[in-house]
Amino acid sequence: MQHKKKILSVIMVLLTGAFYGQGLFESSTTESNKPSTPVISFNGYGRGSFYGGSKSFDNQSVFAEFGFQGKLSLNHAFLFADLRARGGLQFDSLYTTLQLKETYVGYQSDHFDVYLGEKIITWGRTDGFNPTNNITPFNYFFLTADPDDQKLPNFLLQAKWHITPQMDIEVIGIPFYRPSIYRYDLFNMGQYTRFTTPSFPTATFDNMSMAAKMNFELPAIGFSVSYFRGYDPFFGFNLKSLTWNFIIPDIELTAETYLKNTAGFDFAVPAGSWIFRGEAGYNYTTNYKDNMYIPNPGLSYVAGVEHDFWGAHAILQYIGAYTFNFQELPEPQKPGPENGVTMRDYMTQLIMNELTQFNRRIFYQQEKFNHALSLSVNGSFAHDAVRAEVMGYYNITSDEWFVRPQVTWNITDRLQTTLGGFYSAGPDKSIYFYSSDVLNGAFVQLKVNF
């Protein structure tokens, strides 16, 4: 409780000081210079989307959607809403939903911003792999032509103090936990294994998340340092129960999250027509030795370079991870009268080893070092009417990979269609070995904007 009180005290100091400073800077502004009527702006779209063709599902995600984004502003205050009505089929289940993608109120000025409500915040300067982005949960199983559709909002309070044009401080408080959506239950992990109700933290004061970032935008470099304390939106799973019917096991698993502290750093350095980026996050955890769903403390890092080649924009990245206090899993003892190990004991040890190793793969901690590469290339053609892009990823450590090509054609100023696909593969019992049966497929989308 004491550390939470200290953090909240810092937030109150920033809010009070920033509002006081705002009054000093804007005291000369007259009422006649401020708009007296609200300003309303809006836009929206309608789309149809098909994503299908996996081994496990013919139609992973088929839906029609209407989206509406509106903003109402008066002086420095505003309201923003992104509403989406959707109906269709997802993994053989029909559904109809009204989603508040983002809805928040705010106050913006030259020196201070504050926001409250359902909001998406993405930290980090690298492309797609962001060790400092511990705030935004993702719906990894909402499959569309736009990867940003997977981002989910948090209900949060966000405050920004623009100390100078080159420097600002950002503080975020998230009162309750919202997990990412990762459907372990869709994986075929064996006929004796099943997932039950997830075990996530309750909405109490001690379980709230806090984050802070100091950002610098200088001519020669942009960089930031950040801190996060809370439950990770991405999670592993735990063994809830293991029972036996003679030699047949009944394995009940539950998704479970964990508390962590993350210190982060990122930067971007332009060098002529090149841009060099980097990002790193040190994740501190406890009780990991006794809980398979809690990763070891570790360091995740990304180094990338981007450049234009013959009209195409390319981003090459190295993605790495280092696991502290790494230890190989002990080999289960084979049964025998000399060691008192029974066949059931041996099978239990095998199951525990397999489950622990799977969690390690989830967190990229199956080895002390984890190495991967990603390459993204995109370009526009036909007077920018057609945009083609492809992203590839290869994990050197685990020998897993994926490729995601996509082509978007702007048929008119308001009408566009997108075609593409996703294909992944990996060795037996790897993450991509299981997920490829669910996520591989082709997609097509037709979208009208207004």
Instruction: Give the pLDDT of residue 34.
Output: 53
Instruction: Give the pLDDT of residue 24.
Output: 37
Q: What pTM was estimated for this model as a whole?
A: 0.88
Instruction: Give the pLDDT of residue 145.
Output: 96
Contacts by residues 343-347 (CB-CB < 8 Å, ≥ 24 positions apart): 343/247, 344/244, 344/247, 347/247, 347/249
DSSP H/E element including 350? helix 343-362
CA 133 – CA 283 distance, rounded (Å): 12
In CATH terms, the fold of domain 2-25+42-449 is Porin (2.40.160)
CA 245 – CA 324 distance, rounded (Å): 39
Show the low-confidence residues of the chain (pLDDT under 70).
Answer: 1-36
Instruction: Give the pLDDT of residue 245.
Output: 87
Is residue 440 classed as helix, strand or coil in its secondary structure?
Answer: coil
Computed on alpha carbons and rounded to an integer, the radius of gyration of the chain in Å comes to: 24
Which residues, 6+ apart, have CB-to-CB distance to 290 below 8 Å?
none
CA torsion 151-153-156-160 (nearest 10°) is 50
Please write the tens of the pLDDT for every residue from 145-194: 999 999 999 999 999 999 999 999 999 999 999 999 988 888 877 788 99
Instruction: Give the pLDDT of residue 2.
Output: 54
Could you count the other beta carbons within 10 Å of the beta carbon of residue 367?
Answer: 16
Instruction: Give the pLDDT of residue 117.
Output: 97
Domain boundaries, the chain: 2-25+42-449
**Residues 106, 110, 116: CA angle, nearest 5 degrees:** 15
Instruction: Give the pLDDT of residue 35.
Output: 54
